[in-house]
Amino acid sequence: MQILRRIRGLIGTAITWAIVGGLLGASFYLIRYQPWQAGTVWGRALRLLGAFLGAGALWGAACGLAFGLAIWGLGRHSQLHQLSVRRVTWWGALGGVSFPLLLYTPLVLVSGAVQAVPLFAVLTVMSAALGAVSARALFAVARRAPELPGERGILGMSPSAVVVEMIPPQESG
């Protein structure tokens, strides 16, 4: 049952990051092409908007999946309240940088497009920054979420019960 919860969390993280990526892709399209200007061919404009939206969503989903896998692998022995904001932010940056590195490194190596390395480096740094911001925001939302009655921690208790159990009782004297 634990594995299904983790997979559900992984899918939810990928979908959340895909939505953000799609919105960013659509924003980049609107800034770059400004389809509201006179003379716009709307069929072409909508196809381009769809392409930018889809590319942004794919980018976001891949980075969100990488972030979810980082949380799954590196934070598997920790409860949510035990994770530090700094660590989760670094994992978000790792998730953000993973897709561009996996996408652009083979492209540069195979095609020899060395002149495109500065552009790819800028895109990778931007993706890492957006990944860090997204991870930090997602972590803040997750920390504020109420604990569901059926959720249990590693030891079979709620996180607050684990803390209470770990504190030794005071001796009266």
DSSP string of 102-118, one letter each residue: HHHHHHHHHH--GGGHH
pLDDT for the residue numbered 150 = 60
Contact 63, 16 (CB under 8 A): no
**Rounded Cα distance, 112 and 117, in Å:** 10
State the average pLDDT for the chain: 83
Name the residue among 42, 41, 45, 89 with its Cα closest to residue 67: 89
Cα–Cα distances in Å, from 26 out to 41, 62, 65, 126? Answer: 17, 17, 21, 16
**pTM to 2 decimal places:** 0.74
pLDDT for the residue numbered 25 = 94
pLDDT for the residue numbered 145 = 79
Cβ neighbours of 153 (radius 10 Å) = 17
pLDDT for the residue numbered 11 = 93
pLDDT for the residue numbered 159 = 43
pLDDT for the residue numbered 163 = 36
pLDDT for the residue numbered 167 = 38
Q: What is the pLDDT of residues 73-86, one digit of tens each?
A: 888 777 777 888 99
Q: What is the pLDDT of residues 97-148, one digit of tens each?
A: 999 999 888 888 888 888 888 988 999 999 999 999 999 998 888 888 777 6
Indicate if the pLDDT at residue 1 is higher than 80. Answer: no
52 vs 36, higher pLDDT:
52
Residue 153 is classified by DSSP as -
